[in-house]
């Protein structure tokens, strides 16, 4: 038995097996735990969801209670306010994923700073929408993340895209190369031959040739075509062909929705 109180008139059994229906839940309905410190927000969401084939199985007010609810009730979706007491983004979301892997975490909050948005998505949140979104929008979002979609509110999507676009610039590409060697490499990728590079950089052809030999050695490539491929991958935010941003999961089965 956990310490949180289930939503009034809904869940009375604190544990259920995967695939079973919590007391009060309609067969086929999406089951949801609401985690928000403000009772008025939880009541409003309960009222909004009551007629939407979505069953609220519990309401909680702290991160600790949210983790317990996820473990005990295994809801389809956990709606979480990151401004709630005790939330440590990485720890909280990872613990929820460990205890209830099938539960999708949807961040529903007034917090919209870029760092929080990015931290939540990196930690495994399935969606991030602001409390200013329309009522029908939150219903669609809950249903969407329950079926595997990744859903971002418009403002959130803009911030996330901005962060993704800036990150490669903040990271020095080809750190093994000198500034001059990076210049030469970019000109190779632009299609310039040695003589043209020499003219552009006011260097002798012999110096350019030496730079190119060093570049090939440092990047472990054997010709211009392989060097150009390295640049292409880096411009995609994937130096060396590895996943961008250190993300090691797969999004091939998910659809990202901005709504």
pLDDT digits over 47-100, tens only?
888 877 889 999 999 999 999 999 999 999 999 999 888 888 778 898 999 999
**Tokens matching residue 230:** 């390295």
Q: With 0-12 CB in 10 A as exposed, 13-18 as middle and 19+ as buried, what is 17?
A: exposed
pLDDT in tens, 101-112: 999 999 999 988
pLDDT exceeds 50 at position 128: yes
Class of domain 179-241: mainly alpha
Averaged pLDDT for residues 32-44: 94
pLDDT computed for residue 6 by the predictor: 46
Asked if pLDDT for residue 203 goes beyond 80, the answer is yes
Token pair 């999004």 in the structure block, residue: 251
Rounded Cα–Cα distance for residues 208 and 212 (Å): 6
Q: Name the more confident of 128 and 259.
A: 128
Does 244 have pLDDT greater than 60? Answer: no
Minimal CA–CA distance to 219: which of 182, 170, 256, 166?
Answer: 182
CATH fold of 30-166 reads Rossmann fold (3.40.50)
In the chain, where are the structural domains located? 30-166, 179-241
| pLDDT of amino acid 70 | 95
User: Residue 31: pLDDT band by 50, 70, 90 thresholds?
Assistant: very high
**H-helix segments, the chain:** 39-49, 63-73, 89-99, 114-123, 135-146, 154-170, 179-189, 194-201, 205-219, 224-235
More confident residue, 179 or 251: 179
């Amino acid at each position: 038995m956990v310490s949180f109180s289930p939503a009034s008139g809904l869940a009375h059994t604190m544990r259920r097996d995967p695939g079973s229906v919590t007391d009060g839940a309609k067969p086929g309905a999406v089951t949801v735990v609401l985690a928000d410190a403000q009772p008025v927000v939880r009541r409003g969401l309960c009222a909004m969801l009551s007629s939407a084939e979505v069953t609220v199985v519990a309401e909680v007010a702290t991160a600790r209670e949210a983790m317990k609810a996820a473990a005990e009730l295994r809801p389809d979706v956990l709606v979480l306010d990151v401004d709630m007491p005790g939330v440590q983004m990485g720890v909280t979301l990872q613990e929820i994923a460990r205890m209830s892997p099938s539960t999708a975490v949807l961040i529903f909050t007034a917090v919209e700073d870029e760092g929080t948005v990015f931290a939540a998505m990196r930690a495994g949140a399935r969606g991030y929408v602001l409390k200013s979104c329309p009522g029908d929008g939150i219903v669609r979002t809950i249903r969407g993340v329950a079926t595997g979609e990744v859903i971002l509110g418009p403002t959130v999507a803009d911030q996330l895209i901005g962060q993704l676009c800036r990150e490669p610039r903040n990271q020095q590409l080809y750190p093994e190369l000198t500034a001059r060697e990076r210049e030469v490499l970019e000109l190779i990728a632009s299609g310039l031959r040695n003589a043209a590079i020499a003219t552009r950089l006011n260097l002798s052809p012999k110096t350019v040739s030496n730079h190119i030999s060093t570049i090939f050695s440092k990047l472990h490539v054997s010709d211009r075509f392989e060097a150009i491929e390295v640049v292409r991958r880096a411009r995609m935010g994937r130096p060396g062909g590895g996943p961008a941003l250190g993300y090691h999961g797969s999004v091939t089965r998910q659809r990202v929705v901005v709504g």
